[in-house]
Structure 1
């Protein structure tokens, strides 16, 4: 068993998207399997700076003043300050472990936002570094890196991949992407799918009835979507599909759960049949999914699509765009339906097919939930991750050759300051 130092920029109760839920579930599953897991993350309002919960030691790093304002999507100044605070908190955890006569065996970093801390701790501890790349800056922008900060983030992702002994990705689609973008050798890249706690997504009947009463019309089906409201999530294409869907199902209602920089633009596109519910978590999100007649994932770019599995675990038939990891986890006509990304007419046809045949929809939902239980359970995901940890040890693997000279690395660090 290993002592793992796990780094993440989000962790419950502070959640921004799916990454925080992934890290939380992985940490708990690893701890349940007997590993000693310490998570170092950022401070959440009202949360203690140090706690031991679900078998995991959680250390939350308070942000240093001054506050770095994020404008135009440029996170670099904030990220550098955050990494300083994160490194300080992690070094405190390392000192405490040393006093107890313990030593960490491995550092596991999640995405570029913790890259500087991850490499620093790897060097300080002289242990292997494993990096999970949940998405890439190039992928988020469909291959176009429009500004200097986007190109710097792309470089930091490349640097993190080069420094890591093993790179974990969530799908074969993402494996091909990091190999193509960053030159990571295939033997250093491992696919470990995201997991879902199927029991966690089973809503109480009373909560489902309340969500139905709140969001659905009296005479039509309910369609829902949840996620960060950014362009690549494709919410605009669902909104464009609402008018043709309303022609077929006049009482249809749509709920968009989530928040993000694209929200105001989306609200301007939406008609009266669409409700923006804001950021939902816990039982509220589970109940909304279970109350829906169809759950839609219209993403343009989606490395995995965990939310589709969460909806399936809630017992809801799913319609997803055939892109990225979604095309791997949803089998068309068996565990859900797929449509070409960016095509509102195809989206409307796919959703209409689910809504028009309720027996077929129930069969899709049943098969999808069974697959979630059998293939995407967290104990199995944790076991696969532990195998990657073992393969990253020095006797098995060395880190990748860095694509940067020392001078280039220094320039990258300066650039990331902004």
Structure 2
């Protein structure tokens, strides 16, 4: 297969070659799906360990390229912003050494947006950006913003107004961009996806046998970070309520999927579980592969996503692809992915009472869980596969490159006319 063209996906702080982290997975899965369609995909990130490979070849048309920008170690965002100029220079150096010219770049998250905007100033290319999360939402209600927050807001606003196309992962994120960031700029909605070959590849019976979960236990699963906006506290409070706490057959599995585990947050949630008297029914998981994650999803009776802000809904997609009903906060990508009462249940974010009632509802109605399981898989297969996401991006990429061809043609004609007049 002849590659359509070589394109660059830029993800400064999230490494597509890693198996954990929502943005890592998004960029990797998008890159591989695009390569299956014939694109040559270079995915740029930064090196975080001295002994890391500089290039990871995922398949003949898709690779991760790790650039040196700052120390070869994990660097927090407040420090990482200072490494962006070096990242840009290293990317340009890689292009020069390998005789590469990208007609289109697709940046991810605000740090990468800065790199994309600077690259566009010096090269003829199309710039597409996916936000993943928004500073404008994160900082709502804060009276005093530090310099990092101000920089992020300015970069997100400039990117929205100057990129050739901005991608929101759900309608609510598009509305946030318009209401909180700028009324200028082009926006398209393209959701995230899930790996339907991985999630759903093992039955619940076999998964529970692997994890030694008894058939009569009602297994509640949480997958996500342990920082406060993920809503783990709401889930713990819900399960500690009498209508659920009194049930002897409940089991809680808390999976921390952060790339870099925050020990303080981990200890905080562990103490919360202990204080609620749930330590004897709770299992903590923090080191796992993607294949192991698929087993945990399949072994669950319900997956709870109690986020305060969630623009992607990707955890819900993984669960739904596994045939596991989801109970989630009624916001963002979650209410875009889940059809309430059909393939899952939605509840008001941070409302532990209504979350407890939703869990109890599914606990006592196995036939409803079975029906939701079937409908959840159907919805994912219809709307949220990575190949489907890549197909939408493919159409956008081709349209943008076509526009670039016209722009180059217009410039060429303009120069020719000027030469004739001269």
Q: TM-score, normalised by structure 2?
A: 0.85
After superposing the two structures, state which structure 1 stretch, 143-152 or 325-334, moved more. 143-152
1:279 deviates by 4.3
Q: Which residue of 2 aligns with 1:114?
A: 112
Q: Give structure 2 stretches of 5+ with no counterpart.
A: 408-422
Gaps (5+ residues) in structure 1?
399-418
Question: Helix, strand or coil: the match of 1:120?
Answer: helix
Q: Which residue of 1 aligns with 2:417?
A: none
Map of 1:33 onto structure 2: 37
Structure 1 residue 118: Cα displacement: 1.4
Q: 1:279 to 1:177 in 2, by over 3 A?
A: farther
* Alignment correspondent of 1:267: 270
Counterpart residue number, 2:221: 224
**Is the 1:138–1:144 contact (alpha carbons within 8 Å) kept by the matching residues of 2?**
no
Q: Which SS does the other structure have where 2:340 is aligned?
A: coil
Cα distance change of structure 1 residues 67 and 338 upon mapping to structure 2, 3 Å threshold: closer
CA–CA distance in structure 2, aligned partners of residues 154 and 133 of structure 1: 12
Among 198, 201, 205, the residue aligned to 1:200: 198
- CA deviation string 1:98-118 (max 9, x = no partner): 2xxx53111111011213321
Mapped pair 1:49 → 2:48: no
Which is higher, the Rg of structure 1 or of structure 2?
Answer: 2
Query: Alignment RMSD, CA only?
Result: 2.5
Distance across 1 between alignment mates of 2:15 and 2:88: 16
How many residues matched?
Answer: 387
SS of equivalent residue, structure 2 residue 188: strand
* Partner Cα separation in structure 2 for residue 391 and residue 263 of structure 1: 45
Query: 1:364 and 1:336 mapped to 2: Cα distance?
Result: 6
Deviation at 1:241, TM superposition (A): 0.6
Q: Which moved more, 1:258-267 or 1:311-320?
A: 258-267
Query: Which of these residues, 304, 327, 341, is aligned with residue 312 of structure 2?
Result: 304
Match of 2:244, SS state, is helix
Where in structure 2 are the equivalents of 1:5-404 lying within 5 Å? Answer: 5-8=8-11, 9-14=13-18, 17-43=21-47, 45=49, 47-54=52-59, 55-65=61-71, 70=76, 75-81=77-83, 83-98=84-99, 103-144=101-142, 146-148=144-146, 149-185=148-184, 188-205=186-203, 208-213=207-212, 216=213, 220-244=217-241, 245-247=243-245, 249-258=247-256, 259=258, 260-261=261-262, 262-270=265-273, 271-272=278-279, 273-393=281-401, 395=403
Distance 1:309 1:392, change over 3 A: same
Distance 2:370 2:86 in 1: 49
8 Å Cα contact 2:16-2:43 kept in structure 1: no
CA-CA distance at 1:97 after TM superposition: 4.1
Higher relative contact order (CA 8 A, sep 6+): 1
Q: Which deviates more from structure 2 when the two are superposed, residues 218-227 or residues 300-309? A: 218-227
User: Aligned partners of 2:74 and 2:37: how far apart in 1?
Assistant: 39
